[in-house]
Amino acid sequence: MAGILSLVRRIYLSFYNWIVFFGWFQVFYLAVKTLKESGHEHVYDAVEKPLLLAQTAAILEILHGLVGLVRSPVSATLPQISSRLYVMWGILWSFPELRSHILVSSLVISWSVTEIIRYSFFGTKEAFGSAPSWLLWLRYSTFLLLYPSGITSEVGLIYSALPYITESGKYSLRMPNKWNFSFDYYYAGLVALGIYVPGSPHMYGYMLGQRKKALSKSKKE
What local confidence, expressed as pLDDT, does residue 3 receive?
76
What local confidence, expressed as pLDDT, does residue 212 receive?
92
**How far is residue 25's CA from residue 127's CA, in Å, rounded to a whole number?**
19
* Mean pLDDT score, 139-163: 97
Predicted confidence (pLDDT) at residue 2 exceeds the cutoff of 80: no
Summarize pLDDT for 51-106 with one digit per residue, the tens.
999 999 999 999 999 998 998 889 889 999 999 999 999 999 999 999 999 999 99
**How far is residue 161's CA from residue 185's CA, in Å, rounded to a whole number?**
11
What are the Cα distances from residue 63, in Å, to 36, 79, 97, 113, 139? Answer: 38, 14, 33, 24, 22
Mean pLDDT, the chain, rounded, equals 94
Summarize pLDDT for 29-54 with one digit per residue, the tens.
999 999 999 999 999 999 999 999 99
What local confidence, expressed as pLDDT, does residue 221 receive?
59
What local confidence, expressed as pLDDT, does residue 4 receive?
84
Q: Tell me if 104 sits within 8 A of 34, measured CB to CB.
A: no
Residues labelled as active-site residues: 147, 154
* Mean pLDDT score, 3-10: 86
What local confidence, expressed as pLDDT, does residue 217 receive?
79
**For residue 180, which phi and psi values (nearest 5 degrees)?**
55, 45
Q: Helix/strand/coil (H, E, C) string of 187-209?
A: HHHHHHHHHHHHHHHHHHHHHHH
What local confidence, expressed as pLDDT, does residue 72 receive?
84
**pLDDT category, 220, cuts 50, 70, 90?**
low
Q: Is 87 or 8 the better-scoring residue by pLDDT? A: 87
What local confidence, expressed as pLDDT, does residue 176 receive?
83
